[in-house]
Amino acid sequence: MTPPRRTKKPVPDGPPAIAEPAATTPLSDVVDIYSTELFLNRELTWLEFNRRVLREAEDERTPLLERVKFTAIVSGNLDEFFMKRIGGLKQQVGAGIQNLTVDGRTPRQQIEECYAVVRELGERKRQVFGEILTLLRPAGIHILGYSELTSRERKELRSYYVRNIFPLVTPQSIDPAHPFPFISNLSLNLLVTLRYPREREVSLARVKVPVGAGIPRFLQVGEKDRFVPLEEVMQHNLDLLFPEMEVAACEFFRVTRNSNTERNEEQADDLLAMIESELQDRRFAPIVRLEVAAGMGPVHRGMLAAELELNEAADVFEVEGMLALRDLFEIAGLGYPELRDPPHHPVDHPRLMTDRNIFHVIRDAGSILLQHPYDSFATSVERFLYEASEDPKVRAIKMTLYRTAIDSRIIDCLVNAAGNGKQVAVAVELKARFDEAANIRLAERMEEAGIHVTYGVVGLKTHCKVILVVRQDYDGLRRYVHIGTGNYHPGTARIYSDLGLLTSDDTIGEDATELFNYLTTGYTPRRNYRKLLPAPKHLKKALLAKIQREAEHHSEENPGLIQFQMNALEDADIVAALYSAARRGVQVDLIIRDSCRLRPGVPGLSETVRVISVVGRFLEHARIYYFRNGGAEEYYIGSADAMKRNLEYRVEVLAPVEAPELRKEIRTIIDVHLYDRRSAWDMQPDGTCRQRVPGEGDDPRGSHEILIALAEKRHKAGTRLKKKKARGHVRRNTR
């Protein structure tokens, strides 16, 4: 198989304030809107987001198993933070880079400040996990130490271990005759100190805990929900591995490796082969963090740090209690409905509660706004693709693919379409972080089915979420388009809060055609977009122009208003433009999930700016851009955050939402978030956040609960309308 080439382009009161470089001038007196004092640090505000997530684990209002889930989320987030962000900063330090960020920090300063926050988060995480363990017991869920088991339970557990896990365990000696063993990323390990009876000399062995591939971290004891961590079972059955030897000590440790192993793709002849090589590099990438269980001896701790080439004082994190709490997802998934949020079942969109061809629905009744996970992904996006694959009038399907499930129905539909003789083209992003291997397999499967697979544009990640369907309608070819804020992934569509637009708008269809021509050729000359705002060519310029226009239109009689909802606000030029607009008096509302460089509420600078963050049962993932524009309002949705990487180094798309009824839906979403008194946090000028507290008469529900209720209300209204139409149809046919 010859792979296609990537085309070339010509806490409330709790958390400490984020540390700031010394400022000599009050912020309100700073004239230069690019001055370092005016910008918060990306890494530190991202860690602040994890404080908010951890607060959900601490909050007694959160159901108990949801608290377990949030504890696991924070642990997984911090793992990724070290792999991606700390790994990248360490590479800069190693290369001698001293360049300052826009907030005035060197790479080394950022690492040191991040480490201080991570250690504080680790202590809070340990405390909340201990509280949760105590609360789980009366509910019937026990995470036990091996010493808490009866002799009978130990015997049963040993028997299970011997039958189902022990054959997978491989001890490795650590001595002059054996090189220090390879330690895989995020693996949990036992460091075992051994000696022969009646001998003083000791030896060391490393044993990997084989979690994954069907092996759980928590082994069930008996028929009730009583669990013991696998590493403790292994620790107390080491005689199976080392018969006739004495175990002098058994200590736990875990490593995290750098995931930044990207190569220069412009020099690659075969991008697929290059990505496969990068994945191999990542396996052996430098280690950036060593976690050790409390009590590890200083000699062993120093030995591990030296062998792993780490700074013992800085890069070694001692953990009281269990390591790798991300595995608590196993416990969070136990079937106790009374310990969870009320069940949520996505509903059919009211406009799609019909057996009519979906393309007729879109063409006749106009564009449709999808709200996931409230609206069903299966009966909207997947249905759109399925009907496109089966409809004999559909001539072509073009799609971008960043992340999806390996067994996704999305891929099945595309393969089916190709089998039905339709032209199918897919732009696959091979460099989607941590999904590279899956995307390589999907690309190969699609190619084998006759699908035209491309890998986007050299030097740019294809991050936009677009489907273009070309159909032979009665009056000629017509384009039908889906543009979304989230991935075409049925799993994340159930837990991420996202938006999507289904439309047959002629101009958007023409723009989407231009976009796919760019993705498959890389050529940029004379590509004109009349409605879509694509990055990297147009989007940033357009956003800056719209922010400036809002400032120019602002007056007491006609006040300006800018409202953004996104994952992160990081681009310095966008932040500076918002400062300029705020100084002119424009009201700026920012709903930012995690990183935010802008300081809100600074007198004379950003006192008309408020930044809120919503943390709840779903992960906020939608991107919305709103401009009042002197009364000629503009609403955009799409894939792009206001980050330098998205605006300058990725292919992104924002689409206008023009139908009044759809704008009303987006207005509701924005307002629900802005007035949330349960799950919203207000950012302070120093970058910390304060959680809102419901007052008397306030709705005690969070944004997600309110939006669930609104979706169910829309669904019920749609059901009534469908029944009413059905009765009318019956009456007409019986006259």
In the chain, what percentage of residues exceed pLDDT 70? 91
Q: How far is CA 4 from CA 268, 413, 429, 582, in A?
A: 12, 21, 12, 48
Question: Cβ(234)–Cβ(207) under 8 Å?
Answer: yes
pLDDT at 1: 39
Strands 423-428 and 394-401: parallel
Q: Provide the token pair at 3.
A: 């792979």
Query: Quick check: 719 pLDDT over 70?
Result: yes
Q: Provide the token pair at 438.
A: 């899956």
Local confidence band at 528 (pLDDT 50, 70, 90 cut-offs):
confident
Question: Cβ(424)–Cβ(396) under 8 Å?
Answer: yes
E strand or H helix that includes residue 489:
none
pLDDT at 178: 82
Question: Cβ(367)–Cβ(659) under 8 Å?
Answer: yes
Spatial separation of the C-alpha atoms in residues 568 and 595, rounded to whole Å: 5
- Name residue 626's beta-bridge partners: 563, 635
Q: How far is CA 141 from CA 86, 134, 144, 149, 585, in A?
A: 36, 10, 10, 15, 55
pLDDT at 437: 78
Local confidence band at 522 (pLDDT 50, 70, 90 cut-offs):
confident
Local confidence band at 523 (pLDDT 50, 70, 90 cut-offs):
confident
pLDDT at 18: 59
Spatial separation of the C-alpha atoms in residues 318 and 295, rounded to whole Å: 8
Spatial separation of the C-alpha atoms in residues 374 and 377, rounded to whole Å: 9
How does pLDDT run across 347-361, given as a tens digit for each residue?
999 999 999 999 999
Average pLDDT over residues 23-32: 62
Helix (H, G, I), strand (E, B) or coil at 691: strand
540 secondary structure, DSSP code = H
How does pLDDT run across 166-181, given as a tens digit for each residue?
999 999 999 877 889 9
Q: Average pLDDT over the chain, rounded to whole?
A: 91
Local confidence band at 38 (pLDDT 50, 70, 90 cut-offs):
very high
How does pLDDT run across 720-734, given as a tens digit for each residue?
888 887 776 545 544
Spatial separation of the C-alpha atoms in residues 671 and 673, rounded to whole Å: 5
Query: Quick check: 637 pLDDT over 50?
Result: yes
Local confidence band at 30 (pLDDT 50, 70, 90 cut-offs):
low
Prior bond to 343 cis, omega within 30?
no
Helix (H, G, I), strand (E, B) or coil at 226: strand
Average pLDDT over residues 688-711: 95
Spatial separation of the C-alpha atoms in residues 421 and 473, rounded to whole Å: 18
Helix axis angle for 107-136 and 64-80, nearest 10°, is: 160
Local confidence band at 275 (pLDDT 50, 70, 90 cut-offs):
low
Query: Quick check: 21 pLDDT over 60?
Result: no
- How would DSSP label each residue in 247-278? EEEEEEEEEEE-------GGG-S-HHHHHHHH
What type of residue is 421?
Answer: G
Domains and CATH numbers, the chain: 27-134 (1.20.58.310), 149-332 (3.30.1840.10), 350-530 (3.30.870.10), 534-704 (3.30.870.10)
Closest CA to 254 of 311, 293, 280: 293
pLDDT at 521: 86
Q: Provide the token pair at 442.
A: 């999907």
Spatial separation of the C-alpha atoms in residues 47 and 317, rounded to whole Å: 17
214 secondary structure, DSSP code = T
Query: Quick check: 335 pLDDT over 50?
Result: yes
> Taking the model in full, what pTM does it have?
0.92
Question: Cβ(653)–Cβ(638) under 8 Å?
Answer: yes
Q: Provide the token pair at 23.
A: 């400022």
300: annotated active-site residue: no
Average pLDDT over residues 429-453: 84
Per the residue annotation, which of 463, 489, 704, 715 is the catalytic one? 463
Closest CA to 247 of 232, 237, 255: 237
pLDDT at 726: 73
Helix (H, G, I), strand (E, B) or coil at 29: helix
